[in-house]
Amino acid sequence: VLEPIPERPALPLIGHALRIPSGADGLLYAIREAKEMGPIFRFRVFGQEFTFVSGLDLVTELADESRFRKNVHADLVQVREIAGDGLFTAFNDEPNWRKAHEVLMPAFSLGAMRGYHPAMLTVARELITKWDKASGDLPVDVAEDMTRLTFDTIGLCGFGYDFGSFRRADTHPFVVAMGRALERVQQRSESIPGTEFLQWRKEEQFRADNTLMRELVGEVIRDRRASGDTGTGDLLGRMLHTPDPATGAVLDDDNILYQALTFLIAGHETTSGALSFALHYLTKHPEVLAKAQSEVDALWGDTDRPEPAYGDIGKLTYLRQVLNESLRLWPTAPAFAVEPLADTVIGGRYQVRAGETLMVLTPALHRDPAWGDNVELFDPERFAPEREPHRPVHLFKPFGTGERACIGRQFALHEATLVLGLIVHRYRLIDHADYQLKIKSTLTIKPDGFTLRLARRDRAE
Ligand code: HEM
């Protein structure tokens, strides 16, 4: 027997609009709503419908790629103004998606991380140099510095381009432009239909920001071509010179530009948020920090300047558990959408239409009762190796699902584990302001206003 998808009583026309706060509160509201309304519920706003799914059984069903695929929903269509048919925003049937996927998959394999490791270490050391100066003295703004780090890392590993974020006090103009452009995209989708023309100034700014981003990335691509360098050691080299195995053709210049913008967008805020949440939880859980410290100490001893090898990162298994548990509570890309390939029934009773947006609300899935009691508690033991085989496959989805899942997952995890390792090896983390977690949400989420004081660990202890 079919049943309607649960929803609260709605007003005519505006639907549930008045209930829904904007920005961060919107996400937190949806998580709270999932708790009250259950594993599937619907919002209506000005004639648009949003269906949120978060129960393990339903998400398991939606992960079946013979029935569902990625949905490029309204917000992503907006992001296409920046990232075009790059991997993240490509429609499923755009030929450039498969072409770029085939060309780039090997560049994101676990083995490929060996090639990026030295550049990741270079940037990590710039962070350490900055934090050494602050240590014992000034607090550091964690999310800001993590963004400097992840941005410079993707610039260097992806394009051999040095944004130099640690050598400037202000934010790199590209990062400012990108942040503002993404914010604009989100505001557009939240504004009342028909009122966009009132915001022409912001639209003008959006066009200027988009131009700035394109010009910078275009210049990096032109410089590489002009240099005659045909190496395929980084993402740009690979895109310029590796033919797609199926068609024998390389990616066209417009698409390379879109992929480059995509990696800069997708590759840095998510990873920087994950690092910031992990540092927050390490600070609040001294017993977890101590365990992480003994793991890195066992590897690097008490040398002042450890030389983490590529192979060390895979050995930092407890730190990886810490990262996973942080991504469980706050998956930094907090939702992904799928659509039915044909009209179908889910959960045995809810009718859904071909192509309709079904949002998987990851933070709520990550609090499903299948995680056990105390789902709000930060506990890296949930990811202990002996427990791994018992976790249902689709219970943990911070990187999305199926063919359109995150291509940068190994990249993010390698980078984040390396950096966390170096930080916990070197510093005590001092919660000087008794920080209370507050979520800031743009398209991604991060801890808002999280600052730390650092002190060098006393090696003699
Ligand atoms: C896709 C999360 C890091 C590049 C995705 C998706 C999620 C995600 C949930 C699926 C989106 C959807 O279904 O609409 C994350 C998280 C990261 C991270 C939580 C860090 C902790 C990275 C990095 C890169 C990257 C470092 C690149 C260097 C991409 C790309 C896609 C993607 C290109 C689209 C893949 C496709 O559709 O073919 N990511 N990501 N991500 N991510 Fe990531």
For the stretch 204-243, pLDDT in tens is 999 999 999 999 999 999 999 999 888 888 899 988 998 8
Query: How far apart are the CA of 293 and the centre of ligand 1, in A?
Result: 29
To the query of whether residue 399 is one of the catalytic residues in this protein, the response is: yes
To the query of whether residue 270 is one of the catalytic residues in this protein, the response is: yes
Pocket of ligand 1 (CB under 6 A): 70, 87-88, 101, 154, 262-263, 266-267, 270-271, 274, 331-333, 336, 398-400, 404-408, 411-412
By the 8 A CB rule, do 425 and 306 touch?
yes
Specify the ligand 1 atom closest to the Cα of 338: 13
Q: Evaluate whether ipTM surpasses 0.90.
A: yes
- The Cβ of residue 292 has, within 10 Å, a number of other Cβ atoms equal to 24
Query: For the chain, what is the total number of helices (H) and then of strands (E)?
Result: 16, 12
Angle subtended at Cα 196 by Cα 193 and Cα 197, rounded to the nearest 5 degrees: 130
Tokens describing residue 127 = 């962070």
Residue closest via CA to ligand 1's atom 4 equals 408
Pairing outcome for strands 350-352 and 344-346 = antiparallel
Specify the ligand 1 atom closest to the Cα of 86: 33
Residue closest via CA to ligand 1's atom 26 equals 267
pLDDT category of residue 74 using cuts at 50, 70 and 90: confident
Specify the ligand 1 atom closest to the Cα of 235: 28
pLDDT over 60 at 461, yes or no: no
According to DSSP, residue 70 is labeled: E
Tens of pLDDT, residue by residue over 41-73, are 998 887 788 899 999 999 999 999 999 999 999
To the query of whether residue 277 is one of the catalytic residues in this protein, the response is: no
By the 8 A CB rule, do 192 and 301 touch?
no
Burial code (b: 16+ CB inside 10 Å, e: under 16) for 97-120 equals: bbbbeebbeebbeeebbeebbebb
Residue to mutate (ligand 1; options 72, 406, 411, 415; most atoms within 8 A of CB): 406
- Single out the catalytic residue among 159, 362, 406, 417: 406
